[in-house]
Amino acid sequence: MIDWMAFVIVLVSALVGTVVVVGFYSFGVRLLVRAGRVPVVSPATFTDAITVLTPAEIRSAEKKAAKAARKNPLSAGQKNVALAGAYSCFSLCAIAVLYGIYLIVPALHGGG
C-alpha cells in the first residue's frame, strides 16, 4: 500500500518548480548582463560572513561592470529588448513562486 506515485509526484513537481524558478532567474541575470546592467550586489555588512568584500573590491567590481557596459556591442534598441527580457524573466520567476503557493494552500482555491 505504499504510494510510490506520491514520491514521483514530489520529485517531478519539486524539480519542475526549481528548474523554472532557478532557470528564469539565471536567464534574467544573464540578460541583465547582456543589456549592460551587470548587477553588483555587495554583501550585507556582516563581519563573520565568508563573502566579505572591502570597499575597494566593490569599487573595482563596479568599475569592471561599467567598462563591460561601455564595450557592449548591442545597439540601444537591442539593449532595451534584453532588459525587457530580463525583467520578464524575473516576473515569470515571481509568478511561478506565487502559483506554487496558491496550489498548496487549500483556502485559496476552495479545496479541502
Q: Which residues of the chain form contacts with another protein (CB under 8 A)?
A: 1-3, 6-7, 9-11, 13-15, 17-19, 21-23, 25-27, 29-30, 32-33, 38-52, 57, 61, 64-65, 68, 97, 100-101, 103-106
Which grid coordinates are listed for 9? Answer: 509526484
Residue number, 41 or 76, with CB nearest to another protein: 41
Nearest residue (CB) to another protein, 48 versus 76: 48
CA dihedral 54→51→44→55, nearest 10 degrees, is 10
> What is the closest distance, in whole angstroms, from the C-beta atom of residue 76 to another protein in the complex?
20
Identify whether the C-beta of residue 65 lies closer than 8 Å to the C-beta of residue 38.
Answer: yes
Over its C-alpha atoms, the chain yields an Rg (Å, rounded) of: 20
Closest approach of Cβ 110 to another protein, in Å? 15
Question: Nearest-5° angle of CA 42, CA 43, CA 44?
Answer: 115
What's the min distance (Å) between Cβ of 59 and another protein? Answer: 13
